[in-house]
Structure 1
């Protein structure tokens, strides 16, 4: 049925008839049982079935046909998954339902029969152009409700396999609202539909519009008797069931049409001006023109003149939005035409209507699911609504002097453009599929010098589901390090840029790192505005009028005001260092305006300045002063986030095995978003870190309380997004001039109910938050942590408290209207005292009604007739109905005869007319107030946005702290509180990890417990041996755990400075300002960068930006080039890191000559991953290497690369040949070393006594 989802079911024989197929002509129905808590069964049209391949299949994932987030459907899928693992005999045991869900002799109603009833005469022109013969109707129309689509599990019957492709029958195409609008069933059906709805149509949708339980699902097979025989074609068709092939075949062969009527080419494919080689944009530019605009299309005027009015309008919209998929409203359906219909069939599984035009559609209620499915696949969707009723159209035409046929069509307008980066999740769009933010990024770039070594970026990025804007401008290096970090911390799903503005390096980033994001170039000036035009537009449109105080001067948020020139009091001149940022905002505002969401987002005035994390470094005289600022953050760039697998793993790009997955036990969506930001930018100030650690200790000390709080947190919805939704609905700007305010929606009641449910959900959420604060206040006095006390203390009770007192507001909204009545009816009737306009209108109505009653009493006394009563309805109310026997008397002159009936006459007076006019005026004011009541109610709620948002922010912090406390007390082994010390002259930077474990790995590949390790860099315990060794050279066998050890060190440092306990026995360190990583070997094909180039680029970034307080992790640098070149580069990098920068470094290598060179260097310490060798001999294929995964002092003598070759199953003879060659290389290297030592000794006048044994040892080895 309309908007209903797919539901897994099992095909089996009817319990009484002994067959699972009913066939009547070309109509075939299949007997199924639905997987549910209470199974039901019924007969389903064959075309409403598709094979089910499991809940992990592509079709069941986000964007797939079978995707659903409803719990009842997910449970049904689990049962279907279990059935898939059974054989046919075992599956039959699941068939437990003997009773049908409905009487089995009801008839089926076709969509086409009712769809055409939704159309007016002026709508019935366009389909005649398709040259479709009229559909021959039977002697009577069926009146059956439409079944929703079902999912069929494979191997439901014993019919053998077949290569016959399944295609829906022409007669059955119109049997589902969800996949077909029925357009094309008759040549009298057209495009431009009025608002009138036929009464038959109401039978198709249940009252609540949604499937709650299977008992509400109606299974109604054909009323006529089934055929006793089943055709062989039907059997083979069912066995070869394949929906994807069907969709694909429809796209190329005409889909739902009969074989004999299928066009060789669709109508739009025959249009010469639409073919790729002849296509032009709206300004008639060819695709090879540098200014070609791919988002527009030139449509010849003579072609438009030949179209019907409705199709002419469609082509006009399409010509200006050629890159959008147009969902065009016709009656109660959204229609897709021509090239858009092909997308609908291929991507959404819709079905073509009959005719030469590609044409498909679906009902209004299903818009959210279908639009979201296309958007997730990278398409952009335009929702075109009917914004005029036929009556309004007639009134408009009467005012026109000259009326053409194109004027006599109801007006339609684009009401919304939805893209990946502009989803707001309104009631029409559906709910978000994930909790994390998706950003729309607008950027502008300016190169500072001709060499391109320095550049400046202006950026603006926004999460449209929250309405929060970030805007900033910053210089960057030739590697675009800051820009790469930005897109890693705030990953954009869509990027806007000025055409011709971006440098080659930036384009490479967009092509490589952001290849999965939508990218759109905007025309300079007209689309991507400059800074001055941006400021002028923001002020002219008065976006911020409602949120800002008019007395505050320039009507701009504080962040934007700070970017204007101080000398310009009007705020129209951009500041010198903000032009690029404001221009980037201009590109963003233009695009939001194009998507018709600029008013609702900008009116929130929610702006924050973006400042790169590494742009606020302090060059202090004292070592510890660098970390004195509480807001300083550790820098984790894009490379480090990727290499340490903090958010996404490197295997399949999911969160599996990442630090985020391990730590994240947040209960609220806004808590999850905050945790991600905390992990992106850990703290640097020891004071702030220790305060968070104190908070975790405080929470772990009250386990009963945090258990109660955790249960309450689970009940809280995504309040941050709900606040944005409530603002959007209540926006007065949008209600005044947005096309949606004029749209004619058939499911308005459903949408109103959703809005009210969202609003009531927000109120309930804030009530739960207040309960949480009450629980935490009981123990707040015992807490040491300042941040914890701040977020759970009311502002009214303590000046340091940040949580607002919401009690008065919540009580006010509790009594504002009848919540249950509003939830049930979708209408809000405010209670007395809440809405002054509504209250005044009601008072005026009562006053006028009372006045009219008093006037009636006066007239009764005046005439002497007690039987006089008022009569009439609407504007003819309050006529004095007087019996005829009293008429003979002299009536007052002001009595005016209005109507008569047998036995009496009815009169009006001037007084009655005046009082009635006053009453009607009051009633109209009441109705206007009621009509706008929901918007004004939401608007009044939004007036306290700051308080609501402050409460959400406090609970988000509490949720994240609870999450960290939960991890800290529930580790898989010893957990310790990190000790963070200020770096001083007597406390140089160091890292001391003892008994530390990898936070994301609890077991080894072989199932053993993870081996803890000590990682000591620059520690006092080591100084006696190695002095202040800040660099540790890590060696060891291949697969011995070197890379894991380095990732472990990086992750533990991140966790410690986030303010979390870590899996170790001891953790002591001075703050780390930045973590650098050079791990793994991979190229960037999309960016045109080789493996070795990537290595050197990452190394260059390290050498450029590393400070004495950084942590550097370098894994096998130099392996991407020749051995000697790689060794030389590695040697030089180690020297720079150890002796000049002096930062904490773990440097793994297989270059043993490098180890020998630094074996006596006091700035470098040696360590290796231990292993045990059994059967060590000349034949490496006979050796057995046991990895001990223990990090110990000293260098590893060999890398045991041939052991890895053995594990990889290389042939033994290959390994042996390789080993012999390796021995030759080793001898050659030793000979060179001996020759070098002899030469050096001969140059000296005396031979050192220690050198002689060394030379003898080398000779013996040779």
Structure 2
């Protein structure tokens, strides 16, 4: 975690154990540098960042203890042997136990009090404790320091002199440690540039190593980049969903192809809920993103043309704090995509227009699809439950219909998660509701209602052309020809009395009938 530690050094807020972590990292850099492969320009550049100043590790090894305290104020941070003055002060403090044991033995022999004890606490310092039954044996040079229920505590001139020396040594030792620690930080601040470069090099190598490990372990392929516009993915997989399926034992991931080029720039994807439309769209985006950062990709083959951005409109959310409903946020994000997408962009539109009424949503979805196809000309994956949009490819040469397969057997449904050519026949929403645990009576009622609606729809022969060229706007009427409107324009409401206003109203009503 060198980059974070370097930042804390710059702020002079680094803790002792963070410095030991930095020291441990610096100690293994030579071994790490030897394991790096040669010949790759990027690796060679990162290897230069590993060459941190050698005296940083040497300073930390001499100055910081092997297991320092968590906080500097607790002491024990600076290593023994780094500073002679600090070692001397520590020696005084560390010899306390031997002195106290010797004093206790001498005082027991002098006073004849067998249970006499010499002790220390942070509140009262050093003291000699004698039980109440032995108080009559206490010598005259004992000075009472504290009275307890069953004992008395005393101090002697000899113990007082030692206390002043020992406590002074502890305070001076801690002050000396703080001074030395600040000096160490001063040296590290001067080395911030190589430390920052080291942190970035380690982070980059960490990311590259993780991507290489995933590529080798999960059978990822090396993408190919070409100059002509295309997204050609063979047997692409969603890496997160694939691993989750393996962990839970839910089965193998169904890989799917994606073919977009200069002639086919849009896929209209239909199919059942839970069928895998969103998974397919996201895996195409993830594969494109992984390839763009220099990684291998979860597919058997991958061929990509120039790509400048990935735009997505997926899911349902709101921003009520800023007065944006779910549908308003959906339209805002869609508008941003339409204004930003180019011929080299990848656009994911998942269930656009579902946040409003059916006709409004259908009209908007059709218009958005037309704009992306005709004007933006971006590579687009357009998932929808509006089956009317399956007519889109018939009038737009750059679009194709695709659907995720499903097999229905009675009331049961099996999702194949396989992308197939052509439009889907139905959405299977009622079956998905049954799988979700809806009451059986509710499912039966929904199925009966669905059958009635489908029958009514099949009887209605009128069709709406979603993709016809919009008519020119009708010119607004500029002159009022109605006598009532002409009379109304001559009225000044502020100048009329209540009676005059009533008469004017009757006059206008009469004129409106002419």
1:1222 and 2:453 matched = yes
1:1035 and 2:263 matched = no
Give the corresponding residue for 2:4: 721
Give the corresponding residue for 1:1116: 351
1:1232 and 2:450 matched = no
Q: Contact 1:1168–1:1191 (CA<8 Å) still a contact in 2?
A: yes
Q: Secondary structure at the match of 1:993?
A: strand
Q: How far apart, in 2, do the equivalents of 1:1149 and 1:1139 lie? A: 19
The 1:728–1:829 alpha-carbon spacing in structure 2 relative to 1, beyond 3 Å, is farther
Give the corresponding residue for 1:1125: 360
1:997 and 2:237 matched = yes
Q: Contact 1:769–1:955 (CA<8 Å) still a contact in 2?
A: no
Give the corresponding residue for 1:1190: 418
Offset at residue 1131 of structure 1 (A): 1.1
Q: How far apart, in 1, do the equivalents of 2:458 and 2:425 lie? A: 15
Q: How far apart, in 2, do the equivalents of 1:1112 and 1:1146 lie? A: 6
1:1075 and 2:303 matched = no
Give the corresponding residue for 1:979: 224
Give the corresponding residue for 2:22: 762
Q: How far apart, in 2, do the equivalents of 1:931 and 1:1153 lie? A: 75
Give the corresponding residue for 2:297: 1062
Within 5 Å, give how 1:707-746 maps onto structure 2: 718-729=1-12
Q: How far apart, in 2, do the equivalents of 1:1185 and 1:926 lie? A: 77
1:962 and 2:209 matched = yes
The 1:724–1:1221 alpha-carbon spacing in structure 2 relative to 1, beyond 3 Å, is same
Offset at residue 817 of structure 1 (A): 4.6
Q: How far apart, in 2, do the equivalents of 1:1234 and 1:1228 lie? A: 15
Q: Which structure is richer in relative contact order (CA contacts within 8 A, separation 6 or more)?
A: 2
Q: Secondary structure at the match of 1:1159?
A: helix
- Bigger helix share: 2
Q: Contact 2:311–2:346 (CA<8 Å) still a contact in 1?
A: yes
The 1:928–1:1087 alpha-carbon spacing in structure 2 relative to 1, beyond 3 Å, is closer
Offset at residue 963 of structure 1 (A): 0.9
Offset at residue 958 of structure 1 (A): 1.0
TM-score by length of 2: 0.65
Q: How far apart, in 2, do the equivalents of 1:931 and 1:1013 lie? A: 63
Give the corresponding residue for 2:168: none
1:1203 and 2:434 matched = no
Q: Contact 1:726–1:759 (CA<8 Å) still a contact in 2?
A: no
Q: How far apart, in 1, do the equivalents of 2:305 and 2:435 lie? A: 41
Q: Secondary structure at the match of 1:1187?
A: strand
Give the corresponding residue for 2:32: 772
1:1011 and 2:241 matched = no
TM-score by length of 1: 0.28
Q: Contact 2:49–2:194 (CA<8 Å) still a contact in 1?
A: no
Offset at residue 812 of structure 1 (A): 5.2
Q: How far apart, in 1, do the equivalents of 2:455 and 2:310 lie? A: 40
Within 5 Å, give how 1:354-393 maps onto structure 2: none
Q: Contact 2:64–2:78 (CA<8 Å) still a contact in 1?
A: no
Q: How far apart, in 2, do the equivalents of 1:1070 and 1:1235 lie? A: 34
Q: Contact 2:268–2:389 (CA<8 Å) still a contact in 1?
A: no
Q: Contact 1:1092–1:1121 (CA<8 Å) still a contact in 2?
A: yes
Within 5 Å, give how 1:804-953 maps onto structure 2: 804-811=51-58, 814=61, 816-817=62-63, 819=65, 825-827=76-78, 932-953=179-200
- What are the superposed Cα offsets for residues 210-237 of structure 1, whole Å, 9 maximum, x if unpaired? xxxxxxxxxxxxxxxxxxxxxxxxxxxx
- What are the superposed Cα offsets for residues 834-860 of structure 1, whole Å, 9 maximum, x if unpaired? x9xx9xxxxxxxxxxxxxxxxxxxxxx
Q: How far apart, in 1, do the equivalents of 2:80 and 2:210 lie? A: 42
Give the corresponding residue for 1:1099: 334
The 1:1044–1:813 alpha-carbon spacing in structure 2 relative to 1, beyond 3 Å, is closer
Within 5 Å, give how 1:784-803 maps onto structure 2: 785-792=40-47, 801-803=48-50
Q: Contact 1:1205–1:1215 (CA<8 Å) still a contact in 2?
A: no
The 1:770–1:1008 alpha-carbon spacing in structure 2 relative to 1, beyond 3 Å, is same
Q: How far apart, in 2, do the equivalents of 1:719 and 1:1235 lie? A: 62
The 1:927–1:1225 alpha-carbon spacing in structure 2 relative to 1, beyond 3 Å, is closer
- What are the superposed Cα offsets for residues 746-783 of structure 1, whole Å, 9 maximum, x if unpaired? xxxxxxxx95444333222211223311333xx42xx3
Q: Which runs of 5+ in 1 are unaligned?
A: 1-717, 731-753, 793-800, 839-924, 1020-1027, 1175-1181, 1237-1262
Q: How far apart, in 1, do the equivalents of 2:326 and 2:173 lie? A: 72
Q: Contact 1:994–1:1015 (CA<8 Å) still a contact in 2?
A: yes
- What are the superposed Cα offsets for residues 658-697 of structure 1, whole Å, 9 maximum, x if unpaired? xxxxxxxxxxxxxxxxxxxxxxxxxxxxxxxxxxxxxxxx
Q: Contact 1:1017–1:1030 (CA<8 Å) still a contact in 2?
A: yes
The 1:941–1:1194 alpha-carbon spacing in structure 2 relative to 1, beyond 3 Å, is same
1:1141 and 2:381 matched = no
Offset at residue 1015 of structure 1 (A): 1.2
Offset at residue 1172 of structure 1 (A): 2.2
Q: Secondary structure at the match of 2:297?
A: coil
Q: Contact 1:1018–1:1030 (CA<8 Å) still a contact in 2?
A: yes
Q: How far apart, in 2, do the equivalents of 1:808 and 1:965 lie? A: 33
Offset at residue 825 of structure 1 (A): 3.5
Give the corresponding residue for 1:22: none
Q: Contact 1:1206–1:1215 (CA<8 Å) still a contact in 2?
A: no
Q: How far apart, in 2, do the equivalents of 1:830 and 1:1235 lie? A: 88
Offset at residue 959 of structure 1 (A): 1.1
The 1:1220–1:817 alpha-carbon spacing in structure 2 relative to 1, beyond 3 Å, is closer
Q: Secondary structure at the match of 1:1032?
A: strand
Q: How far apart, in 2, do the equivalents of 1:1235 and 1:1138 lie? A: 17
- What are the superposed Cα offsets for residues 1035-1071 of structure 1, whole Å, 9 maximum, x if unpaired? 1122211111111111221122122222111111123
Give the corresponding residue for 2:152: none
Q: Contact 1:1078–1:1114 (CA<8 Å) still a contact in 2?
A: yes
Q: How far apart, in 2, do the equivalents of 1:1214 and 1:1233 lie? A: 28
The number of residue pairs the alignment matches comes to: 370
The 1:1150–1:826 alpha-carbon spacing in structure 2 relative to 1, beyond 3 Å, is closer
Is the radius of gyration larger for structure 1 or structure 2?
A: 2
Q: Which runs of 5+ in 2 are unaligned?
A: 70-74, 86-171, 467-514
Within 5 Å, give how 1:247-286 maps onto structure 2: none
Offset at residue 995 of structure 1 (A): 0.6
Give the corresponding residue for 1:116: none
Q: Contact 1:770–1:806 (CA<8 Å) still a contact in 2?
A: no
The 1:945–1:994 alpha-carbon spacing in structure 2 relative to 1, beyond 3 Å, is same
Q: How far apart, in 1, do the equivalents of 2:357 and 2:404 lie? A: 25
Within 5 Å, give how 1:510-909 maps onto structure 2: 718-729=1-12, 755-776=15-36, 779-780=37-38, 783=39, 785-792=40-47, 801-811=48-58, 814=61, 816-817=62-63, 819=65, 825-827=76-78
Q: Secondary structure at the match of 2:241?
A: coil
The 1:1059–1:1232 alpha-carbon spacing in structure 2 relative to 1, beyond 3 Å, is same
- What are the superposed Cα offsets for residues 465-496 of structure 1, whole Å, 9 maximum, x if unpaired? xxxxxxxxxxxxxxxxxxxxxxxxxxxxxxxx
Q: Contact 2:372–2:380 (CA<8 Å) still a contact in 1?
A: yes
Q: Secondary structure at the match of 2:188?
A: helix
Q: Secondary structure at the match of 2:368?
A: helix
Q: Secondary structure at the match of 2:462?
A: helix
